[in-house]
Amino acid sequence: MCGIIGYKGNKDGNEVVLKGLHSLEYRGYDSWGIASVHENEIKIIKKVGQIGHIKLKDLGFPKSNLALGHTRWATHGGVSEINAHPHLSKNKKIVVVHNGIVENFQELRRFLEEQGFEFISETDSEIFPHLIEYFMEQKINFEGAVRRTLNKIEGSFAIVAINLESKEMVGARHGSPLVAGIGNGEFFLASDVPPFLAYTKKAVYLDDGELTIINKHIKFINIETGKEIKKQHQTIEWDVEQAKKGKYPHFMLKEINEQKDTIKLAAEQPPELIKKVTKMIEDARGVFFVGCGTSYHACVSAAYVFAKISKIHVNVVIASEFSEYEDFLTDKTLVVALSQSGETADLLEAIRTAKKHNCKTFSVVNVVGSSLTRLCDRNIMMNAGPEICVLSTKSYTSQLTILLLLAYSVAGKLGKAKELIDTVSKSVGEIIDTNLKKLKQLATKIKDATDFFLIGRGLAFPSALEGALKIKEISYIHAEGFAGAELKHGTIALIEDGVPVFVLSTPATRHLILSNAMEIKSRGGYIIGIDSEDNDVFDYFIKVPDVGNAEPILWIIPIQIFSYYIALARGCDPDKPRNLAKSVTVK
């Protein structure tokens, strides 16, 4: 987690870094800090809280062509100004920002303290500037000292470091993302591309074990050997406007609305790629779908659509639990990774486990150039554009769309998938536009509920899980999703007067799910039905068209809208829920 950025060029680095941090805030927002490098000193500002409305003048820095910054999601050390990054070395000439975790930090800290280095913060990250200084004291140049430092680190890192004397900037990665932006006589280093999209679209993604050193030019180096590496740049196709809120008050609302287009875009896949991936599924002996959070819920949905449409069984595993299945992995196994960011540490670890056993792999992923894309044999891109709100919305429906495409492709009915997706994407606009006002009213009416339950059978079950996650992560109200019949095996004890229950009903499951709804209603539950037709058991009805196996794509949309409005009704920030970060890059 955490967002890092560095700038060296002819613009005011303070401004570039400040704006960059605004766009990286989705990666963490406990605290922030900026270092501005001047002729003889490094000026630092650090604050607790979100960088949100901080303006350039608030920094109080003179102009500088060299600067770096950090927005934090705390791991080691509480949320405080002292623990916020950047961190300085003892002689105040080396400044570093770090994203990741130093696992051998206690041992390194002890070593440095014995050498007379005094630690100011409780963070593991403060190791970096001190250790770099320690090596430089031994007459090793900046680049060499950074390499020696990184070779001592166990754990994960993406760092940006600046040396006051040489005015060089270094970036390096192992396990956390880092991308270099190459402009006209200027260079950017950042956790993600939005901070430099306004200035350049030329990007070089660093791989694990690589370092870049920037003085007048940029050079890439292998951290272990010190040998130079030739790297190709990529042209980023995302538009700077896509990474802005535009007319919307929040990214979440913007991204919910974007589903009017993104579902269709997700289905626009190169036919050759779909053919190859279909063959991978057909040839596999054992298929695993892995993901975390929302992406895991899409995996659960995969189990249903592949069973129903392709008549094949796929295993679904939460990425962090995947190593428990190692004994079943062979070179015939296929592991499919679902991820918006492509940087989720637990998922990357699952794919590394798969690779260790020579499994075949492919991903369904949104972020071009992300770590996952470089680990997997093949990648299906979601084409959803940047998803900035911490909550996954459009990426979930894009994942579901691609899964549907694949399930039908394996069944030899790709044309049917395209037809369904076309119908679905035509309905999305209507569902959004007719429900915005209504769901705002509903959310306002029931904003003080202390529990929400969501039930669905078959294809609707994963949507119930995902709906519950949406409500709880943004409104901080307890919410749980269940398979329709499961509630009465215990949790129905929590149903009392007025407890809101979303009932996701489909033509195929209607007769049973409506009896489950009745059981809840008899105990006082307030039933919010999502279905293609109304029913007496519903206290509140949300209509979605009957689109057969593509229904999961539609059911979640009203729940996303409801979640957005209940967050607003409760005074919560929908884009930045407490304690969360968009990319979970720690295990």
CA–CA separation, 335 and 333 (whole Å): 7
Shortest spacing between CB 340 and ligand F6R, in angstroms? 4
CA–CA separation, 581 and 587 (whole Å): 13
134 versus 565: smaller Cβ distance to ligand F6R: 565
For 202-213, the three-class secondary structure string (H helix, E strand, C coil) is EEEECCCCEEEE
Count of residues near ligand F6R by CB under 6 A: 14
Q: Exactly one of 294, 363, 409, 435 binds ligand F6R (CB under 6 A); which one?
A: 294
Beta bridge partners of 234: 203
Does the footprint of ligand F6R cover residue 557 (CB under 6 A)?
no
Residue 152 among the catalytic residues: no
Does the footprint of ligand F6R cover residue 339 (CB under 6 A)?
yes
Name residue 311's amino acid. K
In this chain, which stretch among 136-144, 338-346, 413-421, 497-505 interacts with ligand F6R, using CB under 6 A?
338-346
Q: What DSSP line would sit under 223-234, residue for residue?
A: TTT--EE----E
- At 508, phi and psi to the nearest 5? -70, -30
Shortest spacing between CB 577 and ligand F6R, in angstroms? 9
In this chain, which stretch among 47-55, 199-207, 220-228, 293-301 interacts with ligand F6R, using CB under 6 A?
293-301
* Token duo for residue 422: 């076309």
Does the footprint of ligand F6R cover residue 295 (CB under 6 A)?
yes
For residue 63, how many other CB atoms are within 10 A of its CB? 13
145 versus 367: smaller Cβ distance to ligand F6R: 367
362 versus 408: smaller Cβ distance to ligand F6R: 362
Residues 6+ apart with CB under 8 A from 261: 425
199 versus 251: smaller Cβ distance to ligand F6R: 251
* Token duo for residue 332: 């015939």
How far, in Å, are 131, 137, 167, 534 from residue 140 at the CA level?
A: 12, 7, 16, 74
Beta bridge partners of 173: 158, 210
* Token duo for residue 10: 């002819």
Does the footprint of ligand F6R cover residue 344 (CB under 6 A)?
yes
Annotated active-site residue in 2, 292, 359, 376: 2
Cα dihedral sign, 131-132-136-141:
positive
484 versus 577: smaller Cβ distance to ligand F6R: 577
410 versus 454: smaller Cβ distance to ligand F6R: 454
Shortest spacing between CB 420 and ligand F6R, in angstroms? 24
CA–CA separation, 349 and 319 (whole Å): 8
Residue 247 among the catalytic residues: no
In this chain, which stretch among 52-60, 178-186, 292-300, 327-335 interacts with ligand F6R, using CB under 6 A?
292-300
In this chain, which stretch among 66-74, 88-96, 102-110, 339-347 interacts with ligand F6R, using CB under 6 A?
339-347
**CA-wise closest residue to 294 among 493, 556, 504:** 556
Does the footprint of ligand F6R cover residue 293 (CB under 6 A)?
yes
Does the footprint of ligand F6R cover residue 475 (CB under 6 A)?
no
In this chain, which stretch among 1-9, 161-169, 341-349, 568-576 interacts with ligand F6R, using CB under 6 A?
341-349
Does the footprint of ligand F6R cover residue 584 (CB under 6 A)?
yes
Q: Exactly one of 292, 368, 417, 550 binds ligand F6R (CB under 6 A); which one?
A: 292
**Region 364-403 residues binding ligand F6R, contact defined as CB under 6 A:** 391-392
* Token duo for residue 215: 């003085």
Shortest spacing between CB 474 and ligand F6R, in angstroms? 8
**CA-wise closest residue to 513 among 448, 459, 474:** 459
* Token duo for residue 287: 């298929």
- Strand duo 478-483 + 451-456: pairing: parallel
- At 308, phi and psi to the nearest 5? -75, -45
101 versus 420: smaller Cβ distance to ligand F6R: 101
Does the footprint of ligand F6R cover residue 347 (CB under 6 A)?
yes
The residue ranges that bind ligand F6R (CB under 6 A) are 292-295, 339-341, 344, 347, 391-392, 469, 473, 584
Task: Report the catalytic residues.
Answer: 2, 582
